[in-house]
Structures are given as C-alpha cells and as structure tokens.
Chains A and B, each alone.
Chain A
Amino acid sequence: MTAEKLMSLTVTDLRALAERHGISGHARMRKDQLIGALLPVIAAGTSIPKNAKDTAAAKVSMPVAAGSSSSSSRPTPGPTPANQPSAAGPNPGLPIPERYGSDRLVLLMQDAHHIFAYWEITPETFARVAAKAGAHAAHVLILHTPSGPEQRDIDLRGGNYYLSVAPGATYRAEISLRSKDGVLHPLAVSNFVQTPQAGPSPRSDAQWLGIDETFHELLAMAGLPGHEPAGSLTRLQARAGESQLIRGEAGSSSGLSSTARTSSLLSKRPDG
C-alpha cells in the first residue's frame, strides 16, 4: 500500500488499520502520523481499496488471541467430517522438507533493481569442493553482469540473498569457494534472469498489426487443397485470434509470428 492510497483513507480507517497492525498510541495520532506509522508496517501490498480480500482477511484475523484457523489438519482418513470445535491456536501446517538434497542456485527478479537469489548446497558437494579450495576459503556469490563478473562475500548458511542490479539487463550467478590464492571453486550455477527497463523504450518505430478473425475460417470452410474440410460450427466456436500483419514492413520481422499462418509485414510507419 502506497502513501497515496493511505492518504485516501479517512482517519477512522487509518486508526482501525493501525489497531489491526498493533500500532500503539494510534488514538492520539494525526493523519500524517498514522500514515507514517503504517507505511513501514504495511511494507507492501496491493492496497486496501484495490484488494478487498485484504480487508476480508483482516476481518477474520482481528481477534488475534483466538487464532485465525479453527481446525486442526489431523491426518484422519476422510471422508468422515471431524466435528471439531476450534483449536486453541493457529494450525502451523504440515511439515515440509528443509532440504531437497540437490545443489542449486536460483535467481528470481524482484523488481527492476533487485534480484533474489536462493540456494541449496549439499554437504557432500560442499565437502568435496572445500577439500580442493583448502581451509579458510571464502564463500562468494559471483554475479555475471553485462559489464563483467562481480564478487560478493556471502554467508553460505544464509540460503538466500538480495542483490542490487541495474534495470534492463540479463544476469546469471554462481556460488563458489574462493581459496586463499584467489582461485574460484564453483558450487552451483544459476539460471538466467532478466530485469525490465525502468522507463520508456528509446525505440519509437511503430509497426501495426491487424488481426483477421474470419479469413482463416472462411478459407478452412472453402475446402481448398491442403486445408482441412469444414466442420464450421465447432471451428467458429473454437477459433482463436488468427493473425495477419497488414501494415509495417521489413524491419524486425524476427519477433513476429512465424507459424504457418499468413503473417506478413507490408509497410512500416515511422513515428511522427
């Protein structure tokens, strides 16, 4: 939730929100103070107005002491509804694996300026690589950027890391042990991840595409050689947007549909 969205709420709503988030002294706060206190607590979110599920969820969560979930998920074989009253506390959920026993390093784009990295290195791999790297080897994450690799010292036990990056570029990373003499001994290599442009494209050349919904249907129904015969009713129901480029030429046809459909670039319109 942004400051702007909080601004649009009444003080009463803000107080109610503050109460829900356990902000003390909210009754004495002015609107700007309430917003100031709420912003860091509500670190992110689609906003109350935009997402009423937030509110719906908040409603049921209000009586915190009672716990939000009212049943325990015991592995009793169904289908015999367990007529259980509410449990004393929230159900923590069934156990999930702590480790999966394979080496991996994964990058996920958080936003145009940040990448999240998480990893798992098995004890076997670590022992094998550590034996080569020698005692006191440093744990490093190497980020391959468009301008070359960057090394960052990390704590391998942490399991994850947020990286500051530049927009509009492709990244890959690896985790290695760096021996005393500076030699890198790789543990895991990541996927590629791309950050979006954080602003308008410098390209202003415009191409125009017309989607011809009916031509291919008519063609198919015509029963010409090389085309499946009719069955027109089901076809008409199932038809998907067949595309035909009608204006725009040459240029980057590489990105355009190259299926068996008639996609052709005919003219290119320069931007006014």
Chain B
Amino acid sequence: MPPDLAPIGHLLLLLHAHLPFVRHPEDPYFLEEQWLVEAITETYIPLLSRLEHLIQDKVHVRLTMTWSPPLCEMLADPLLQARYVQRTQRLLELAEQEVPAKAGTPFADSAVMYRDHLRYCLEVMARFGGNLVRWVRELMEAGAIEVITCTATHGFLPLMLTHEAKRAQIEIAVANYRIHFGRAPKGIWLAECGFTPGVDELLKAAGLRYFFVDTHGIYYGEPRPRYGVFAPVYTPCGVAAFGRDADSSRSVWSAESGYPGDPLYREFYRDLGYDGEYPYIRKFLHPDGVRRNLGLKYHRITGQIPLHDKAPYSPAPAYARAMEHGDHFYQQRIHQASMLGELIGRPPIIVSPYDAELFGHWWFEGPQFIESIFRAAHASNHCVMPVTGSEYLATHAVNQVVMPSASSWGDSGYNGVWLNPSNDWIYRHLNIAEERMIEVARRFSAGLATTADPSRASAPNDLRDALNQMARELLLAQSSDWAFIMTTNTTVPYAVRRTKDHLNRFTSLYDMVLGNRIDRQALRDIAWRDTIFVEIDFRVYC
C-alpha cells in the first residue's frame, strides 16, 4: 500500500535462512537432522504463516530473505520431508497426551498451543506436498518476500584460494535458485557477509545485482562513503552493496531494550525432554534414550532466577508483548530515520539483517515480532517504508562508487571465526581440493564434450558422474558451518567428521579419475549419501 506522504526513510529487513546440508540416508534416527526438523516447526512455518496472515490482512509486506541452496535442497528432499512428518507425528502424539495431562494447571494453554501448532505444521506439509519451498515461492510471487540466494554451500569466500572455487560457489547457487524459484536471483547474501574485493566481479558475471556487507565493510571502503551505510554503494563494476546498520541489531539485542530477554517470553532452557518423568517421555526420545530437548517448553523467562524457579508460560501475554516490541522497534527506526535524514540530507535506508533461525527457534515469539514490525509500519502510514533490495535499487539507481573493504560479520569483523587454531587444519586440505578440482575439470572437460565413440559410451558417463560428485564433495566440505562449529565448540565431532568425510570422498574420487579406474560401486555409494545439487556440472570449475 503506497504511503500518503513520501517516506522519511526505508527499512530493508533481511532474514537469512540457512542450515548446513545434513542428510543421512543410512540412519533413520540421525541426531543432527533434528536441526532441520526444529527449524521447520519453530522458525520456517511460523514465519511463513505470519507473512501469509499479513497478506490476508492487506498489510504491505516487504521482506528480503535468503533461502540458502542447502536449505532449499533439504526442504525439497523427499527423504527429509518424510522424516520431518514422521518425527512431527511422533511429537504430536506426545503433545496430544499433554493436553489432558496439563488440563487445569497453569500449563494448559501452552499444551493446547503445542498440539495445535504441530497439527498445523502437518497440515501445511500436506498443503505443499511436503515441500515448503513451494510456500516460499508462493509468498515471493505475492510480492511479500524477495528471495535472494547465498553461496552454494554457505562457503566462506575470503578463505578460498582460487578464483574458480569462488566462482563455482556463486554460479552453482544461481543455477540452484533457478530450479527452486523458476527465475534468476537478483541479490545474494554472501555467507557470513564474507567479502573481498574482486568477488563483486564474480557476482556481476553471475547476473547478481546486489549483496550485503557488514558495517565496517562500507565505512572502510575506498573512497569514503558519503552516506555511510545509509545508502547502498556500487562497486566499480556496478554491483550494489548494502551495509548492515549496527543500531537496529543492537536495538534487538541490547541490554537495555533486550527484547528476547523479556520475562514474559518463553524460556529456551526448560524443556519437557528434561523436566518430564522419564518413563512418560522415554518413547519420544531418540532411541539411545538420552534426555534432549523435545520442543515442548512450559516456562517463561520470568527474571534472572534459577531455571527451577521459572514461572509458567502463558502464550497470550507473550504474544501481546511481541507486538509491543515490534512496534517499539519500528518507532525507533522512525526516530533513527528522522535524525539520519537531517544529518545526511536525504532519506536513509536502514538495513537490518538477522539469521532467520533466531526467530522462533531461539526467540520463540520472534515471528510475531517480525509480523508486528510490518503492522506498525502499516499503522504509521509507512513513514519508514519497508523495501526489498531490488525494489530500493529500482527507485534509487544513482549511488556512490565505493569498493567495500574485505570484511565479514563474524566476531571482530574478518576471517578469524573461520580461521583460528581450532579449525585452521582444514584449509590445507580444502585449498588443495580446490586446485585438484580445477585440474581435473580442465583436463577432462574437453574429452567428455567430444566423445562420440559408442564403444566408450559408458566410461565417459562414469567419468562425468565422478567429476560431478567430486564437485559436490568439495562444496560440502567448504560449508562454513563446519569451521564455525569448531570455533564455537558445540557439536565439534560432527563438524570434524563431515569435513573429513567429504575430503576423503573427494580424494578417492580424484584418485579414481586420475588413475582411470572408477569403482562404480564406490561412486554409487558416495552419490547415494551426498545428494545435493543433482543438476551440477563440474565444468563450472574450468
């Protein structure tokens, strides 16, 4: 809905939805697949349903969202879809028992909420044939979200050695986006905002028009940016870079306002998986019987008190508080835009990017918060106008030429999160793998393209399959998630294992390809495990 008056500023709200590709056909109970299950139930479905409500209410919604290629590949994967439904049905069984069990207690409302939400999740899965990407696409076509892409496997470009490996991360992402969304992406979220000068040329060649960098990437750019992060800049080759506004991030997370820490909000660390009587919950736990979070949480943050003293959670007041917080956030942006407007002499654009999984999974009421930002904008007659990246550029086509500085949004702003003594061992292997991939791609691409001899028809196919699979293994090994997990010291053994498994498979395929002895059985086994990017063409590495 257009505003009555020209807006005093613009708000580019961006949610980056991404999970690493975790799919283990060999184990129906694989633990880390639960990341996706939780994110679907707690983040993706709540967020998308809030957006749908906004559209139904004719509220002007403009949200920029990354749906990373690995996430799209998992959401569209029949095995993972089936596992999601199976695990959710199982949890629903428990949630249905919980309704009578909690009746007449202060936990009754929460019990009903969980049961209803899990039923809703299963309905939504049925509505979209199990594939939530279809819902995303529907909302994209309705104009509510602009879906942008991300590096193919969330690869962190600044620590890749070769131009070709960086280019492949970008080109493969764009090709995969076309498959899931039926068009070309206009923007990209570089994994972890990892940028180095020169990457912009690769983006341009891939047809991408804009990307995002952290605040200092703009401020330390060359030359000085006239408007700071409050207007995009063009790199010398003409790709736009938007800079993150530090204030809007702080206003969500600061100690003073600190939205997610509100006493009414749901407490993350109290969960039926730990609180329930063991015999009662046993059959709903992983077969190993270890107590873990089930996602049914009945307490609110309450205050700075021990976990066992937390008060019962009540959905309605928490929801109302999230609406207040969203409104507060928006009023702050109005205030910020009016001050900045005076300072820089033009309406600023405020770029507020967040990881999507934060909203709903970690901050349970987060999706309502996002919803309420758009409702507040609607109520304020859009005096700060929500826009998406390409929408803004379409109406603000003239911008300063600045080459952003090398940067990331990781702690301390550069590459240290992904390169430090906890994970530096991976780069000697990843860098060699890049070079080997380029080597074999160049060596065999010509032969494969021209082979016409029918007597050798099967051999070239094996070779092509092996080369394509090598590309998949390299890309999966490059997921920045593994290095990140090693640094944050969370599920380190899994991150180490994934790095090694993909490097091992890459290396054995390399040896097979060079030795001209492709073991079909082994190749089939690897391809059965690592199914990402069925469309891949290894020649992207030439």
Using CB atoms and an 8 Å cutoff, list the residues of chain A in contact with chain B: 1-2, 5, 7-13, 15-16, 21, 41-63, 66-71, 73, 75-79, 81-86, 90-97, 100, 106, 108-112, 114, 116, 118, 120, 159-160, 191, 194, 196-201, 203-213, 237-238, 240-241, 243, 245-248, 255-257, 263, 271
Contacts and interface: CB of A to CB of B under 8 A. Distances in A.
Top-8 shortest CB links A-B: A93-B500, A243-B238, A90-B493, A78-B528, A71-B27, A203-B223, A94-B504, A111-B414
Contacts, number: 335
B223 A201 contact: yes
Contact of A111 (B269, B291, B416): B416
A44 B358 contact: no
Given A60-B32, A69-B494, A196 B406 contact: yes
Nearest to B79: A81
A45 B28 CA distance: 31
B301 A10 contact: yes
Contact of B25 (A7, A11, A78, A114): A78
A228 B324 CA distance: 56
B129 to A, nearest CB: 23
B417 A59 contact: no
A213 B397 contact: yes
A112 B26 CA distance: 44
A191 B427 CA distance: 14
B258 A71 contact: no
Contacts of B240: 211, 241
Contacts of B88: none
B39 interface: yes
A213 B279 CA distance: 64
Contact of A51 (B158, B224, B358, B427): B358
A53 B398 contact: no
A84 B258 CA distance: 44
Interface stretch (B95-103, B201-209, B311-319, B329-337): B201-209
Contact of B414 (A52, A61, A196): A196
Contact of B161 (A42, A96, A106, A212): A106
B304 A46 contact: no
B488 A54 contact: yes
Contact of A203 (B26, B224, B267): B224
Contact of A50 (B29, B355, B529): B355
A194 B419 CA distance: 16
B192 interface: yes
Contacts of A209: 234, 238, 398-401
B514 interface: no
B155 to A, nearest CB: 14
A71 B414 contact: no
B277 interface: no
B17 to A, nearest CB: 10
A196 B220 contact: yes
A76 B361 CA distance: 36
Contacts of B207: 238, 240
Q: Chain B interface residue count: which class?
A: 35 or more
A79 B226 contact: no
A69 B288 CA distance: 11
A100 B429 CA distance: 9
Given A43-B487, A49-B253, A78-B25, A207 B400 contact: yes
A118 B428 contact: yes
A54 to B, nearest CB: 5
A245 B521 CA distance: 56
Contacts of A8: 253-255, 258, 261
- Pick from A12, A73, A199, A237 the residue with the most CB of B within 10 Å: A12
A261 to B, nearest CB: 9
B427 A208 contact: no
A56 B159 CA distance: 25
B121 to A, nearest CB: 17
A247 B30 contact: no
Contacts of A49: 252-253, 260, 358, 362
Contacts of A243: 234, 237-238
B287 interface: yes
Interface in B18-53: 18-20, 24-32, 34-35, 38-39, 43
Given A197-B222, A240-B208, A246-B398, 11 more contacts: A15-B307, A16-B269, A44-B411, A50-B358, A59-B292, A73-B501, A77-B525, A92-B500, A110-B420, A118-B428, A240-B207
A157 to B, nearest CB: 14
A240 B188 CA distance: 13
B264 interface: no
Interface in B455-490: 481, 484-485, 487-490
B26 A73 contact: yes
Contacts of B283: none
B497 A60 contact: no
Contacts of B429: 96-97
Contacts of A42: 488-489
B239 A81 contact: no
A44 B486 CA distance: 10
B380 interface: no
A77 B524 contact: yes
B281 interface: no
Interface string B488-514: 111111101111110111010000000
B428 A120 contact: yes
Given A60-B32, A60-B35, A209-B238, A109 B261 contact: no
A136 B64 CA distance: 62
B292 A118 contact: no
Nearest to A119: B428
A12 B27 contact: no
Given A52-B358, A95-B504, A201-B221, A21 B489 contact: yes
A12 B409 CA distance: 26
A237 B38 CA distance: 36
A242 to B, nearest CB: 8
B413 A111 contact: yes
Contacts of A111: 412-416
A116 B288 contact: no
Contacts of B412: 44, 111
B490 to A, nearest CB: 4
A112 B416 CA distance: 10
A179 to B, nearest CB: 28
